[in-house]
Chains A and B, each alone.
Chain A
């Protein structure tokens, strides 16, 4: 059975990889190096330690390259650009080339398994007599080249054809000799056809799955606001609990008047317990010339600005904007869309966006009121009308109506995230307005919106975040998931105003429920944010640019390690005499005695222990010398200086006493056992 790669196959795979990945200029010399090993006769004599170093070096190269790619590919503008991991995989044939080259050009022709596993290295160090074995990397490197080629994502027929040819080439030596090639060729063709049909089917299946499931799951995980529908927790039992996770970071040079509201979306149709956005289709916003400025309306004066940092999920998301936003600056995304209800959606952005929003007192982002902004659902109409009548809002101005409603809630209601009992007959909102008079922001916002509508003031339900926490660690405002908030937009004096009737104590209430580990989590979140900001930074002077320089000393180290190895000829390697190994005690003077006895015709037999030998030749006076010699030769502790001197002097004395042919004996010198 064949075990080695057939000639030219490895070189062809490397060239194929270069062709597909665009590294053809690099691949050709590598392929020549790979195939030249068959023609060249010299080999490097690499020990297991050398292979360990080479493997470590390859690992280091992969890690450094990974860091480099991870840091530099962060500037890829589109989500469809190659990821760092994919690029790293494309590079693997180069990064692991030292290993395959060392195998091809080494006398052993294989790489010891200890090179790949630390556990085996430790085991080999503990018990040198156990040899874990070696592995031929030929076919593995071939497979790696093929898979790395696939990472280049060149969707051409040439790729698949090349793949089939290389696979057939690799399989040819393994074919069963029992069957004629006339069997083998149709089977290969059939497999190629089946593979082609299979990969078309797999790709289409993925597209279907992506459309239906993938986005849905991610949207669930990410929790971005849905600009068309929001389901409130109105009517749900138990305690409402949200996460401590930091979702937004807000910078404002002049300081904010807290609480500061950042809106994600607003809705106009209430269908308990959900709010819906009617006719809220998105339309694209054209960027300014710099590609990062997005205007929704003409500039206002005076205007304020606030800078927000937010993570995007796969480059998409709904922006959190202050009321009255008319322009966004430094927003590095490909597409921005808005709807008539003031929601702004971005597409194909980076993982983290930091944008500055300019805003004014009026609300140019929101469309003018329509009939639905005055609609009260029939189910809630009775209770809402009753309270409106109680408040005596008829005849008041819109501003007075808003203040009256706000005062009504301030006086008569309290904040609570707990709800224990389900009302028997009333709706949840009716229960809130008439009985419990306690609830969370969704109750307040919904009730306020409906009351204002009943009073003739156009109103919408808005969701977003309330900025209220200053982080001393980050020196900016941070917004946590639990700061998610809802409030009312009221159309007063020709503009949409934020009306938040939720009692201000809600922030303290949420803070009270904060996790014990919140500081640790904040620190981690900050570190992650700094890293993400660096990673997604568009600053070309980032250190990622310089990581490549780290590769140079590593490659030089590799070249030095390889070049400093002693080179041997292949033919010599086969017929060479065993390499002399320095053994302890080989300079023992006892060998002079053995030479002397050998010359005297009293040589030791090969299978005879020295102790038996001296007994046989009746040289019992050698016993103490032999004892010292054995200890010098085999005892790991060795001899002390005095014992060593004793061995030398006793041997010299014995040689003097048995002087016969000293010149011949001493000329022979020490030798091995």
Chain B
């Protein structure tokens, strides 16, 4: 039954997509009038609604006939920015070249994104936020869930854009604006040039394959920098890790080579002079290093709490000053990851790129994150934990961090009403009021 519903929804979505592309707004309205006139004029003895039906149907059919042939030939080139941010409008350019030997005008540009329909597995396993409050029929049939999944996967809505007249063999460039709806890759499939018929009801279409991708960074909220009362920690990597962070420029002495010393520390001149390997020694292995720990352990796809947690993590990453210190972004995906940003290593935008692609972890326990953090704790000055709840496992992590003397700031993101009873040292952030919560930090 579920599979039957899935196929029905899938077919209906495909039909609606084709209908939207093929008909102009006036054409859609005409179709609606045709449907209403069928109902009104079903009994031709009672009303003359059937006259409305036949007239409007004649309009639509004539328009459709005129849209069968469209002899235009075009190429397209899309110039995308490097990044976009979720919820922030972004503009990009699209150049269209007319390859046909005559002037083209009155055309409309339709952008094509990849198919947003979810797979059957996603349809069955996903849970729409607030689905438990829906009525029995909606829960069983699942159309609201389907619509939500499609909207989640669509990424952006791009309105049709009228094209300026195109001279024969000429090129024109248009600017399009989109507002990405969610983080991740926004994948373009191609563009379609649409030509309305003389009545303006039906489009004749000419599609051009133009696959491209735009990385959409997570949504960020303005917030003050989180200042942790941590101390500098010994960093085994030293200069190799961050050449200019900490006290790296202070040369201390030369000493004999010991097994395991990196090659780059060999002082070649001294080796030549004394005849044995000599290495340089620096007073460099102490500097500030913070960890941003992101909790990815949620069982639901597209969980809004998780999405907001990613946004909070992105906001924290952006707000932290990495000129003077390092920031480790730690989370668990298919395996435990740790990405370090800071002067000389990576920039914050690279952390945002990573956060743009973070997916929920549904096959590992929370303890795997705890182990990853504890393994690196010796080198960490402080931690910012962005958690999705405040259960025993998460409390255990925070307790352990505090027991080991690591200054920790805990941010718990939750749905409305779930973050009211947190301890004083835990900062609760409600979905829908995240900006407000971060402003109070």
Please tell me the size bucket of the interface on A.
35 or more
Q: Is the CB of B46 within 8 A of A86?
A: yes
Q: Are A203 and B50 in contact (CB under 8 A)?
A: yes
- Check A153–B46 contact: CB distance below 8 A: yes
- Interface-side segment among B35-43, B181-189, B265-273: B35-43
Residue in A80, A139, A210 whose CB lies within 8 Å of B29? A139
Complex contact B24–A174 (CB within 8 A): yes
Q: CB-CB contacts of A49-82 with B at 8 A, as 1s and 0s? A: 0000000000000000000000000000000101
Which residues of A sit under 8 angstroms from B45, Cβ to Cβ? 80, 206, 210
Count of CB-CB pairs between chains A and B under 8 Å: 149
Q: Kindly identify, within residues 139 to 160 of chain A, every residue whose CB is under 8 Å from any CB belonging to chain B.
A: 139-140, 143, 146-147, 150-155, 159-160
B350-390 residues with Cβ-Cβ distance < 8 A to A are none
Question: Which residues of chain B have C-beta atoms less than 8 A from A662's C-beta?
Answer: none
A297 to B: closest C-beta gap in Å: 38
B106/A167 in contact, CB under 8 A = no
State A90–B50 Cα separation when bound (angstroms). Answer: 15
The minimal Cβ–Cβ distance linking B313 to chain A, given in whole angstroms, is 19
Q: Is the CB of A147 within 8 A of B40?
A: yes
The answer to whether A634 touches B47 (Cβ under 8 A) is no
Interface assignment of B422: CB less than 8 Å from any CB of chain A: no
Interface centre among A126, A179, A199 (most CB of B within 10 A): A199
B224 at the interface (CB under 8 A from A): yes
Cβ of A3 to closest chain B Cβ, rounded Å:
8
Instruction: Report yes or no: A174 in contact with B26, Cβ–Cβ below 8 A.
Output: yes
Write the nearest CB–CB distance from B167 to chain A, whole angstroms: 14
- Per a CB cutoff under 8 Å, which of A147, A609, A611, A612 touches B52? A147
What does the 1/0 interface line of B104-144 toward A look like (CB < 8 Å)? 01110000000000000000000000100000000000000
B436 contacts A by Cβ under 8 Å: yes
Which of B56-64, B229-237, B247-255 contacts the other chain? B56-64
- Give the distance to chain A from B185, nearest Cβ to Cβ, in Å: 24
CB of B59 within 8 A of CB of A191, answer: yes
Residues of B in contact with A, size category: 35 or more
The answer to whether A151 and B40 touch across the interface, beta carbons within 8 angstroms, is yes
Q: Quick check: A202 and B54 within 8 Å, CB to CB?
A: yes
Distance in Å: Cβ of A518 to nearest Cβ of chain B: 31
Which residues from chain A contact B6 at a C-beta distance below 8 Å?
none
Indicate whether B344 reaches chain A with its CB closer than 8 angstroms: no
Q: Judge if B44 is at the interface, Cβ distance under 8 Å.
A: yes
- What residues on B are CB-neighbors of A152 within 8 Å? 47-48
Q: In the bound complex, do residue B41 and residue A150 qualify as a contact, i.e. CB atoms below 8 Å apart?
A: yes
A89 and B198 contact, Cβ closer than 8 Å, known pairs A164-B55, A187-B62, A191-B58: no
Q: Contacts A147-B37, A634-B436 given: A178-B51 contact, CB under 8 Å?
A: no
Contacts of B37 in A (CB 8 A): 147, 150
Q: Which of A175, A194, A206 contacts B58 (CB 8 A)?
A: A194
What are the residues of chain A within 8 A of B54 when measuring CB–CB? Answer: 194-196, 198-199, 202
Asked whether, in the complex, the Cβ of A163 is within 8 Å of the Cβ of B51, the reply is: yes
B161 CB to nearest chain A CB (Å): 11
**Cβ–Cβ contact A184 & B198, under 8 A:** yes
Instruction: State which of B32, B44, B50, B432 has its C-beta within 8 Å of the C-beta of A143.
Output: B32
Contact A611 B224 (CB under 8 A): yes
Q: Shortest Cβ distance from B266 into chain A, in angstroms?
A: 47
- A574 contacts partner chain B, Cβ-Cβ < 8 Å: no
Q: Does chain A have a CB within 8 A of B162?
A: yes
Name the residue of chain A whose CB is nearest to the CB of B59. Answer: A191
Interface residue? B195 (CB, 8 A):
yes
A146–B130 Cα distance when bound, in Å, is: 41
| Residue A539 is within 8 A (CB to CB) of chain B in the complex | no
B58 cross-chain contacts in A, Cβ below 8 A: 190-192, 194-195, 198
Assess the B47–A86 pair: CB atoms within 8 A.
Answer: yes
B44–A203 contact, CB under 8 A? yes
Q: Using Cβ atoms and an 8 Å threshold, which residues of chain B touch A163?
A: 51-52, 55
Interface residues of A in 462-487 (CB under 8 A from B): none
Within 8 A of B (CB), among A227-258: none
Contact pick for A198, options B24, B47, B57, B201, CB 8 Å: B57
Find chain B residues with CB under 8 A from A207 CB: 44
In the complex, whether A1 has a CB less than 8 A from a CB of chain B is: yes
Q: How far is the CB of B232 from chain A (nearest CB, A)?
A: 23
Say if the beta carbon of A288 comes within 8 Å of chain B. Answer: no
